[in-house]
Structure 1
Amino acid sequence: MSSANTLAPFKAEFLKSAIDGGVLTFGSFELKSGRISPYFFNAGLFYTADLLRAISTAYAKTLIETNNSASPIEFDILFGPAYKGIPLATSTVDKLGELDPAKYGQLCYAFDRKEAKDHGEGGNIVGAPLKGKRVLIVDDVVTAGTAKREAITKIRKEGGIVVGILVAVDRMEKLPSPDGDDSKPMPSAIGEMRKEFGFPVLSILTLDDIIGGLVGANSAEDVKRLEEYRAKYKASD
């Protein structure tokens, strides 16, 4: 993937791992919105040791890069919404502690239960107590944002302070228009969440990154279909 040199090395490595591992595939996929997408990203397939290491490394390096920028995000806990977010958050805590033990050696994780436990320790949250802590949510994607809003509500109910969200891929895709007219400018789900909550929503890769990383390295037809899809559905934010 020679053209992926335009990406940061860790992004290029993650993109290659996702393609080689069959996590990012190209073809024709019907989304919940009814749109036919030329690509599909399935974070549920990061279940082998090498792929889990690839995604946790990419999450960790995204956070390290952000915290070395002019707009760092300070956090005490990584929170993984059940179910896909659980291994993503826990493995990223481990990777951050490995890459920068001085800063992240005491970093904590937490995740929620789908249903509250009514025996033993009880409650909805497993892992570090959230009260008074700065919490960053780690998950695979933002589609409509419903699951992330539920996570935010749970964290705040426990007294945590949500400071941001990190996902693997930002599709940069506009929400469906209420009247079904896809030609109308519309914001993305990520853009709506940024405006609604006022905190950053980060991603390892965007659709622009994927297209840029594939040019010259993948099927020209795949790249063309991705570019056409972006032109049709790119969000206004």
Structure 2
Amino acid sequence: MNRRKKKFIKFVLKKKVLQFGQFKLKSGRISPYFFNSQFLYSGYDIFKLSQFYAYSIIHSKISFNRLFGLAYKGIPLVSSTAIALKIIYNLNIKYAFNRKEHKLYSDSGIIVGKELIKQKIIIIDDVITAGLTIQENIKHLNQKNIISGIFVAFDRKEKGILKKNSTHQEIHQQHNCKIFSIINVIDLIQYLKEKNTKKEELKNLLLYYKKYGSKKIPI
């Protein structure tokens, strides 16, 4: 694991973004850990997180010209990442995001931002599990657009909605795009092992991963 990933894990543990306990996920799965980006609520925290996103996007070397955030947590992430790309890499990238509901007056519709037609889009969200949120929201993007990639802060590396393939496989098959992350659950497991800390939490995490994790990811 590289130094940047360790730095990010230390950051999200310190800020209690990574929590351990018992959490019911949108997928219905009961998880012994949870990644909650809402605890990054200061200007310093959100900009620091956006720098990690910007670095991941640049070093992925994929072609893109628009950022798209998924409501609600993806909205501050996409705007702050656009700022980080400009400040650090001098890339002036437009961004847009979706609403949870259609607005029926004034700037009506479900997409906020310049119309998305024939764009190479990067989708930004905080975490991916079974891919439900992404699958629900990708349909709002015009079919003439290309989804260049999906970027999340934390990838749980779990089975997809159908529980036969991994989330990565399902999304790649349906939308022909890759998922990129700042860190994933394997990185977290390695970090906890190296630090020899949170032994009970690690034990529960491993049991959960054995049940829901991608079969192609060894531990």
TM-score normalised over the length of structure 1: 0.81
C-alpha contact 1:77 1:128 (8 A) present in aligned 2: no
| Aligned position for 1:80 | 69
Cα deviation 1:35-64 (Å, max 9, x = unaligned): 432211112222222321232111111112
> Measured at CA, do residues 37 and 119 of structure 1 come closer, stay the same or move farther in structure 2, by a change above 3 Å?
closer
Instruction: Give the CA deviation at 1:167.
Output: 1.3
> Measured at CA, do residues 223 and 149 of structure 1 come closer, stay the same or move farther in structure 2, by a change above 3 Å?
closer
In terms of Rg, which structure is larger?
A: 1
More displaced stretch, 43-52 vs 79-88? 43-52
C-alpha contact 2:161 2:167 (8 A) present in aligned 1: no
C-alpha contact 1:17 1:51 (8 A) present in aligned 2: no
Partner SS, residue 155 of structure 1: coil
1:95 aligns with 2:80: no
Which of the residues 118, 123, 138 maps onto 2:104? Answer: 118
Which of the residues 35, 38, 43 maps onto 1:41? Answer: 35
Figure out how many residues of one structure are paired with residues of the other and give that number. Answer: 215
1:50 aligns with 2:44: yes
Residue 195 of structure 1 aligns with an amino acid whose one-letter code is Q
Structure 1 spans left out of the alignment, 5+ residues:
1-6, 68-72, 179-185
Q: For 1:117-156, what aligned pairs fall within 5 Å after superposition?
A: 117-156=103-142
| Whole-angstrom CA distance in 2 between matches of 1:144 and 1:49 | 30
Residue 156 of structure 2 aligns with an amino acid whose one-letter code is R
Which of the residues 175, 199, 203 maps onto 2:177? Answer: 199
Cα deviation 1:131-186 (Å, max 9, x = unaligned): 121111101222332321232221125x43222211121111224777xxxxxxx3
More displaced stretch, 202-211 vs 122-131? 122-131
C-alpha contact 1:172 1:234 (8 A) present in aligned 2: yes
Q: Which structure would you say has the larger RCO, counting Cα contacts within 8 Å and 6 or more residues apart? A: 1
**Percentage of identical aligned residues:** 39
CA root-mean-square deviation: 2.2
TM-score normalised over the length of structure 2: 0.87
Partner SS, residue 215 of structure 2: coil
